[in-house]
A and B are shown apart, each in its own frame.
Chain A
Amino acid sequence: MSQLHTVNKSPLERNTLESAIAHAIKGNALLMIEDGVYGAMQGTHKSAIVSNAMSDISFYVMGPDLKARGIDEKRIIDGIKIVDYSDFVALVAEHDVTQSWL
């Protein structure tokens, strides 16, 4: 069953990104939204968690939330796709279930 995970808090604040990655299985997708977009940044001490999971999980990050926080797209880990709300809807539609890690 294909599953989309959403994470809305920074990995430096909560462990929801780590939990989501730990529970996700090969072929799942993970979308970072709201403060969750900090998890997509290069060079933090949590970046490796995402980089190491990239072979199994497709990562996405919400573009408008990056912009709201002044995070330049150049500072995003290579391989994470930047999406908008319409893409978010499409991701939910593409996957059988959406798990919001709150």
Chain B
Amino acid sequence: MKFSVMISEGPYTHQASDTAYHFTKAALEDGHECFRIFFYHDGVNNGTRLASPPQDDRNIVNRWSELAKEYKLDLVLCIAAAQRRGIADADEAKRNGKNADNIAPGFRISGLGQLIEAGIQSDRLVTFGD
């Protein structure tokens, strides 16, 4: 079955990022397909490579990047939410006159249409948030 996931909570806030990760990983390990993971609102904070959690804590950002690499996942950050929260790729940084970008490997920035498409193309869309 084809799944998509929407995450609207930042990492290390409550538990939505963790639940979403474990849900996605279980789905993939059980042979399901993941069409897209869409990060909305504070969820875009899952996609900054500047996060440096303590070594004895889970690294939520790297965990997504590694899962994306292993399963070729499409991790999409909402552009409007990302702009507000200072998450940028090279193009966005340039367009907004910033001197650096911070998007983590495996993530890309795009629009809300990607969430709508995920809802249409997937058999199931599951939301994790606060």
A102-B130 in contact (CB<8A): yes
Q: Give chain B residues whose Cβ lies under 8 Å from the Cβ of A89.
A: 3, 23, 26-27, 30, 32
Q: Give chain B residues whose Cβ lies under 8 Å from the Cβ of A85.
A: 22-23, 25-26
**Min CB distance, B92 to chain A, in Å?**
28
Whether A28 is near chain B, meaning CB under 8 Å from some CB there, is no
Whether B126 is near chain A, meaning CB under 8 Å from some CB there, is yes
Closest to A6 in B: B126
**Min CB distance, A95 to chain B, in Å?**
9
Whether B59 is near chain A, meaning CB under 8 Å from some CB there, is no
Whether B90 is near chain A, meaning CB under 8 Å from some CB there, is no
Q: Give chain B residues whose Cβ lies under 8 Å from the Cβ of A84.
A: 26
Which interface class (under 10, 10 to 19, 20 to 34, 35 or more) fits B?
20 to 34
A88-B26 in contact (CB<8A): yes
Which interface class (under 10, 10 to 19, 20 to 34, 35 or more) fits A?
10 to 19
A7 to B104, CA, bound (A): 30
B124-A8 in contact (CB<8A): no
Q: Give chain B residues whose Cβ lies under 8 Å from the Cβ of A8.
A: 15-16, 19, 128, 130
Q: Given A100-B126, A100-B128, A102-B129: A88 and B15 within 8 A (CB)?
A: no
B23-A100 in contact (CB<8A): no
Q: Given A93-B32, A98-B124: A34 and B15 within 8 A (CB)?
A: yes
Can you spell out 11 A-B residue pairs with CB atoms less than 8 angstroms apart?
A8-B128, A33-B19, A34-B16, A85-B23, A86-B29, A89-B23, A90-B30, A93-B123, A93-B124, A100-B126, A102-B8
Point out residues on B near A: beta carbons under 8 Å: 1, 3, 8, 14-16, 19, 22-23, 25-27, 29-30, 32, 123-130
